[in-house]
Amino acid sequence: MTIAAQLRILGDDGTSSEASRSRSLLAACLAHALHDGYTDGLYAFLPVWQAQFGLSYAGLAVMRALYYGTMGGLQLPADRALRGLSPRAALILSTVVAATGLLTMALPLGFAGLCIGLVVAGIGSSIQHPRGSMLVTDSFGASARRPLGVYNFSGDLGKAILPAGVALLLPILAWRPVLGLMAAFGVAVAIILASLAPATRITKPAGAVVAGAGRGGFGLLTIIGGLDTATRMGYLLFLPFLIHARHGGSPTVGIALALLFIGGALGKATCGWLGERLGVVGSVMLTETATALLIAATLATPLTWTLVLLPLLGIVLNGTSSVLYGTVPELSGGDTGRAFAVFYTSVIGSGGVAPILYGAVADHSSQTIGVLASAATAVLVVPLVLALRPHLRSKA
C-alpha cells in the first residue's frame, strides 16, 4: 500500500478535513526527514574533522554532543516556549534555524565557527521533534497511532538518504561546500513547509490523550529508551572508522550508513509487527539481544560481509525504538504531549552523552572495546524491560 493510500484511510474524527490532515502529516514528515537527515548526516563528516582538527574519539564525541546535546536538552523548553506558535511558524522556524547553523559551519570560521554552528543547528532541531509529533497527534486525535508511525518512519528515510548523499559528495567537494548545500536544501524545505503546515493552531480532538498505567512505568520506559539510543549512537560513532579500517573509502562509508538506516526504516514496520505478536517485553528482549550479537559480529567480518550484516543490524538497532515510542501514550499518565517531550529529552540526551563515554573507553583501550561496550548496553536493556512488564496493560 502506498503512503498516499495510507493517508486516505487514516482516522476520521470529524475535526478537520482529510486533505488538511494529510497536508499536516506531510509537513511533519518532511520536517522530520530533513532534521533527522541533518542529525545523522553529520556522522559522514567525523573522519574529515578528525583529520583536519586532530581530534580523539572522545573529542569527536564532545563536538558531536554540541549538536545532539543541545537538541535533546531543549526539547521541553522549546515545547513550552513555542506552544503559542502555529505549526507552520514552528516548523519553518526550526528548519531555518537548523539551516543557519549548517551555514555557519560552512563558513571559514575555524574550529570555533564549527562548534557554534553545531549549537545553532541543535537549537533548530530541538523545536521540530515536539512540535512535529504534536501536530500529528492534534490533527488525528484518537486515531493518531498509525500516522505517528508514518511520522516516525519518515525520519528514517532522511537518515537513509542524506548521509549517503553527503558521503558521495565529500570525495568531489570540500566539506564546507557540502554543508552549504545542506543548508540550501533546508531553506528549500522551509519554503515548501509554508504551503503545507497549518497557519493556525489546531484544536486538539477529543480522545487524543491516552491515560496510562502510571508514572513509575513511564520513568522506566524513558531509561530503556535512553539505553537503546545509547547503543545506537555509540555504534554509529565507530562505524565510519570500522569501514576505513577495512580499507573502505568515504563512498563506502556512505553506503554503509545507508544500508544501516535502510534496515532501520524496515525495522520500524518489522518491529511493529513483532510487537503485536510478542508484546513489548518479548519483542524488545529479542531485538536487543540480536543487536548485541550483530554488533559483535561486525567486528569479526571482512568489509563485504560487514555490509551484508548492516541492514540486518539496522532492523533491530533502530526498530526497537518504534516499539518503545508506541508505548509512550500507554504510560503517559494522561499528559501525552509532555510525555513525548520528556521521552525525546531522555533518548536524545542519552544519544549525546553516551558516545562521549564510549569514545573515552576507546581512547583508553581500543576501538574494539568501545564497540563491545555499546553491545553490552543493549544487553543491559533486557532485565529492565522485564521490570517494565507489571506496568503494561498487555503483559506479553
Band of the pLDDT at 15, cuts 50, 70, 90? Answer: very low
Q: Which residue has the higher pLDDT, 173 or 337?
A: 173
102 has a pLDDT exceeding 70: yes
Residue 377 to residue 341: CA distance in whole angstroms = 23
Q: Are residues 234 and 365 in the same domain?
A: yes
Write down the pLDDT at residue 351.
Answer: 76
Q: What CATH number did the domain enclosing 195 receive?
A: 1.20.1250.20
- Asked if residue 2 belongs to a domain, the reply is no
Alpha helices in 42-144 (DSSP H): 46-53, 57-73, 75-81, 87-106, 110-140
Above 50 in pLDDT, residue 14? no
Of the ranges 69-73, 349-353, 385-389, the best mean pLDDT one: 385-389
Question: 252 vs 327, which has greater pLDDT?
Answer: 252
Q: What element of type H or E holds 173?
A: none
Amino acid at 232: R
Identify whether 10 is part of a domain.
no
Provide the angle, in degrees to the nearest 10, between the axes of the packed helices 215-245 and 46-53. Answer: 70
pLDDT at site 168: 86
Do 38 and 97 lie in one domain? The reply is: yes
Whether residues 262 and 385 fall in one domain: yes
| Domain extent for 88 | 17-208
Supply 213's cell numbers.
498505567
One domain for residues 225 and 356: yes
Q: How far is CA 231 from the centre of its chain?
A: 13
Give the model's pLDDT for residue 313: 94
Q: What is the pLDDT of residues 218-244, one digit of tens each?
A: 888 889 999 999 998 889 888 988 888
Which residues touch 70 (CB under 8 Å, ≥6 apart)?
Answer: 118, 119, 122, 123, 126
Q: Per the structure block, which three cell numbers stand in for 339?
A: 510525555
What's the domain count of the chain? Answer: 2
- Average confidence (pLDDT) over 294-311: 92
**Average pLDDT estimate for 386-391:** 85
Q: With a threshold of 0.85, does the pTM exceed it? A: no
Nearby residues of 361 by Cβ (< 8 Å), 6 or more positions away: 369, 370, 373
Helix (H) or strand (E) holding 23: helix 18-41
**Which residue has 539510543 as its cell numbers?**
229
Which residues, 6+ apart, have CB-to-CB distance to 296 below 8 Å? 371, 372, 375
User: Helices then strands (H, E): number in the chain?
Assistant: 14, 0
3-state helix, strand, coil in the chain (%, to 5): 85, 0, 15
Lowest-pLDDT range of 39-48, 167-176, 326-335, 369-378: 326-335
Say whether pLDDT at 362 is over 60.
yes
pLDDT value at 3 more than 50:
no
Burial class (CB in 10 A: 0-12, 13-18, 19+), 329: buried
The answer, yes or no, to whether residue 163 has pLDDT greater than 80, is yes
Q: Residue range 157-175: average pLDDT?
A: 86
Beta-carbon-side half-sphere exposure of residue 350 (alpha carbons within 13 Å): 21
Strand, coil or helix: what is 245? helix
CA distances from 22 to 10, 14, 147 (A): 9, 14, 9
Domain closes at, from 208, 236, 258: 208
> Do residues 352 and 370 both lie within one domain?
yes
pLDDT at 205: 46
> What average pLDDT does the chain have?
81
Same domain, residue pair 158 and 219:
no
Please indicate, yes or no, whether residues 82 and 166 belong to a single structural domain of this protein.
yes
Instruction: Pull the grid cell for residue 292.
Output: 548485541
The residue among 142 and 6 whose pLDDT is bigger is: 142
Let me know whether 231 and 191 are in one domain: no
pLDDT at 88: 85
Q: 188-223 as b/e, with b when 16 or more CB fall inside 10 Å? A: ebbebbeebbbeeebeebeebbbebbeeebbebbbb
Residue 276 shares a structural domain with residue 297: yes
Q: What is the mean pLDDT of residues 86-95?
A: 88
